[in-house]
């Protein structure tokens, strides 16, 4: 097959892309952005204990950025179903030295994956630019004001209850409608705490208070969530809904994760939280190039 001539214009998005305001700057959302996961936990479901030393964590973050991560998301508490809660002091001990070192070392913004105001505050002081709250500001009333004071970007994820009891709460009459209206409650909490609309990203919370079938259905229903007007993030990475579909172990769910990200991109998601950065960046690069040709 012949190469396309060099004069072919690069694909452009159909409408002006939004920008996400985060501490110290903004991220353009014209093209999909990948957030690389850095779990500094002993017990995360797919990579627990792998980045327990600061050196191992930094090496892995470097690698994810080389592979195209636009954000590194650092977490110090596993939220897998039934995970033991971690006290704030322990979470700070795990997360903050890594965040500080990454901020000094990497050219991309650092996000802190926490439900706790004390952890968010310490990470923001160490230079994190984004707070990723899996509870959608339902867990700690101090988290919204802490993010607002720092001018941080804020990811509000949908879940019900806590990781300990969320499985029982996966009952919906109108899945996408209820997820959307519950995310709107989270947005109202954020706005009341002083977070500007341009700093907010929404995430349907795949696997959180959702059965495998519900996670699959939500991936197909993203256009209904997108109608809320906020940029969307998804986190399908290695999750058990892929395990149920594919019958493979977490580390063998890379192709499934990339496929889920492409489907989510087609449904309007612009941010993708994943463990395996390179394959997802490649898959999204292809999806985005094709989308650019459709808009002309
Ligand atoms: N999923 C996990 C954790 N944080 N944040 C957002 N915004 N969206 C997600 O889907 C999401 C998230 C769970 O995945 P992981 O961090 O790999 O596992 P664990 O919670 O066991 O550390």
Q: Which residue has the higher pLDDT, 42 or 277?
A: 277
Cα(147)–Cα(143) distance, integer angstroms: 6
Please say if the pLDDT value at position 87 is more than 90.
yes
The CA 105 to ligand 1 mean position distance, Å, reads 24
pLDDT digits (tens, 9 = 90+) for 176-200: 999 999 999 999 999 999 999 999 9
pLDDT digits (tens, 9 = 90+) for 192-237: 999 999 999 999 999 999 999 999 999 999 999 998 899 999 999 9
Q: Which atom of ligand 1 is nearest to the CA of 155?
A: 7
Q: Which atom of ligand 1 is nearest to the CA of 77?
A: 22
State residue 14's pLDDT score.
Answer: 47
CA atoms within 13 A on the CB side of 209: 23
Helices (H), 50-141: 54-66, 88-105, 117-125
Would residue 210 show up in a list of annotated catalytic residues for this protein? no
The terminus-to-terminus CA distance of the chain in angstroms comes to: 23
* DSSP per-residue codes, 91-103: HHHHHHHHHHHHH
Cα(77)–Cα(95) distance, integer angstroms: 9
State residue 2's pLDDT score.
Answer: 44
H/E element, 263: helix 254-266
Cα(167)–Cα(270) distance, integer angstroms: 27
The pTM of the full predicted model, rounded to 2 decimals, is 0.93
The CA 163 to ligand 1 mean position distance, Å, reads 11
Cα(209)–Cα(156) distance, integer angstroms: 15
CA atoms within 13 A on the CB side of 200: 25
Given the residues 94, 115, 210, 273, the one annotated as active site: 273
Least confident segment among 119-123, 269-273, 290-294: 290-294
Q: Cα 84 to the chain's mean position, in Å?
A: 21
Q: Choose which residue among 75, 232, 234 to substitute to test ligand 1 binding: the one with the highest number of ligand atoms within 8 A of its C-beta.
A: 75
Among 292, 284, 244, smallest CA distance to 260 is for 284
Cα(134)–Cα(187) distance, integer angstroms: 13
Mean pLDDT of the chain: 93
State residue 15's pLDDT score.
Answer: 53
Tell me the torsion sign for CA atoms 102, 108, 113, 117.
positive
Q: How many CB atoms lie within 10 A of CB 258?
A: 24
Measured by CA distance, the residue closest to atom 15 of ligand 1 is 44
Given the residues 239, 253, 270, 278, the one annotated as active site: 239
Would residue 273 show up in a list of annotated catalytic residues for this protein? yes
The CA 79 to ligand 1 mean position distance, Å, reads 6
Binding pocket residue ranges, ligand 1, CB within 6 Å: 37, 39, 41, 44-46, 75, 78-80, 113, 132, 134, 155, 157, 203, 205-206, 233, 235, 273
């Amino acid at each position: 097959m012949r190469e396309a001539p060099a004069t072919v214009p690069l694909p452009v998005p159909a409408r002006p892309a939004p920008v996400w305001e985060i501490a110290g700057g903004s991220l353009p959302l014209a093209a999909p952005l990948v957030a690389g996961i850095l779990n500094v936990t002993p017990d995360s479901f797919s990579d627990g204990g792998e980045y327990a030393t600061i050196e191992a964590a930094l090496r892995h973050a470097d690698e994810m950025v080389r592979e195209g991560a636009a954000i590194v998301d650092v977490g110090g508490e596993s939220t897998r179903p039934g995970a033991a809660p971690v006290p704030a002091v322990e979470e700070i001990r795990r997360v903050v030295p890594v965040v500080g070192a990454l901020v000094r070392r990497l050219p991309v913004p650092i996000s802190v994956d926490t439900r706790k105001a004390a952890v968010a505050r310490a990470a923001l002081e160490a230079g994190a630019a984004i707070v990723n709250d899996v509870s959608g500001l339902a867990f700690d009333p101090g988290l919204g004001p802490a993010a607002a004071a720092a001018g941080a970007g804020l990811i509000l994820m949908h879940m019900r209850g806590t990781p300990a009891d969320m499985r029982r709460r996966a009952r919906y009459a109108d899945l996408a409608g209820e997820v959307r209206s519950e995310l709107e409650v989270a947005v109202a909490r954020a706005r009341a705490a002083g977070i500007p609309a341009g700093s907010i990203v929404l995430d349907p919370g795949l696997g959180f208070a959702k059965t495998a079938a519900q996670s699959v259905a939500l991936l197909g229903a993203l256009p209904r969530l997108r109608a809320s007007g906020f940029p969307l993030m998804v986190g399908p990475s290695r999750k058990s809904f892929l395990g149920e579909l594919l019958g493979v172990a977490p580390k063998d769910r890379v192709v499934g994760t990339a496929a889920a990200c492409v489907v989510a991109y087609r449904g309007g998601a612009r941010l993708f939280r994943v463990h395996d950065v390179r394959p997802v960046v490649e898959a999204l690069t292809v999806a985005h190039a094709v989308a650019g040709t459709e808009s002309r």
